[in-house]
Amino acid sequence: MAAFQYPGSATTDASLDQLAERAIALAARLLTNAKQRQNDQELVHSSKIARRM
Protein backbone atom coordinates (compact mmCIF):
# COMPACT_ATOMS: atom_id res chain seq x y z
CA MET A 1 0.00 0.00 0.00
CA ALA A 2 1.47 3.35 -1.03
CA ALA A 3 1.78 6.20 1.45
CA PHE A 4 -0.61 9.11 1.07
CA GLN A 5 0.82 12.09 -0.77
CA TYR A 6 -0.64 15.54 -0.94
CA PRO A 7 -1.28 16.63 -4.51
CA GLY A 8 1.82 18.23 -5.96
CA SER A 9 4.11 17.01 -3.17
CA ALA A 10 7.21 14.96 -3.64
CA THR A 11 7.16 13.13 -0.31
CA THR A 12 9.85 10.51 0.02
CA ASP A 13 10.50 7.88 2.67
CA ALA A 14 13.48 9.97 3.82
CA SER A 15 11.37 13.10 4.29
CA LEU A 16 8.71 11.08 6.13
CA ASP A 17 11.43 9.68 8.40
CA GLN A 18 12.68 13.20 9.09
CA LEU A 19 9.17 14.37 9.86
CA ALA A 20 8.63 11.45 12.23
CA GLU A 21 11.90 12.20 14.01
CA ARG A 22 10.94 15.86 14.40
CA ALA A 23 7.51 14.88 15.76
CA ILE A 24 9.09 12.50 18.27
CA ALA A 25 11.59 15.14 19.40
CA LEU A 26 8.81 17.71 19.81
CA ALA A 27 6.68 15.26 21.81
CA ALA A 28 9.64 14.52 24.09
CA ARG A 29 10.26 18.24 24.67
CA LEU A 30 6.57 18.83 25.42
CA LEU A 31 6.48 15.94 27.89
CA THR A 32 9.66 17.10 29.63
CA ASN A 33 8.35 20.65 29.86
CA ALA A 34 4.99 19.51 31.22
CA LYS A 35 6.65 17.33 33.87
CA GLN A 36 8.85 20.22 34.99
CA ARG A 37 5.79 22.44 35.45
CA GLN A 38 3.75 20.00 37.54
CA ASN A 39 2.71 21.33 40.92
CA ASP A 40 2.69 19.22 44.10
CA GLN A 41 -0.97 18.24 43.78
CA GLU A 42 -0.46 17.10 40.18
CA LEU A 43 2.62 15.07 41.19
CA VAL A 44 0.63 13.26 43.89
CA HIS A 45 -2.21 12.58 41.47
CA SER A 46 0.09 11.27 38.72
CA SER A 47 1.87 9.02 41.25
CA LYS A 48 -1.47 7.52 42.30
CA ILE A 49 -2.42 6.86 38.70
CA ALA A 50 0.98 5.29 37.97
CA ARG A 51 0.60 2.91 40.92
CA ARG A 52 -2.86 1.86 39.73
CA MET A 53 -1.50 0.98 36.32
Residue 13: partners with Cβ closer than 8 Å, 6 or more residues away: 3
Q: Domain of residue 40: give its range.
A: 27-53
Q: How many domains does the chain have?
A: 1
pLDDT tens digits, 31-44: 999 999 999 999 99
- For residues 21 and 8, give the distance between their C-alpha atoms in angstroms, rounded to a whole number: 23
39 three-class SS:
coil
Instruction: Confirm whether 10 is domain-assigned.
Output: no
Structural domain includes residue 39: yes
Q: Is residue 43 part of a domain?
A: yes
Distance CA 20, CA 11 (A): 13
Q: Please check whether residue 51 lies inside any domain of the structure.
A: yes
In a domain? residue 48: yes
pLDDT tens, 1-22? Answer: 556 666 666 667 888 899 999 9
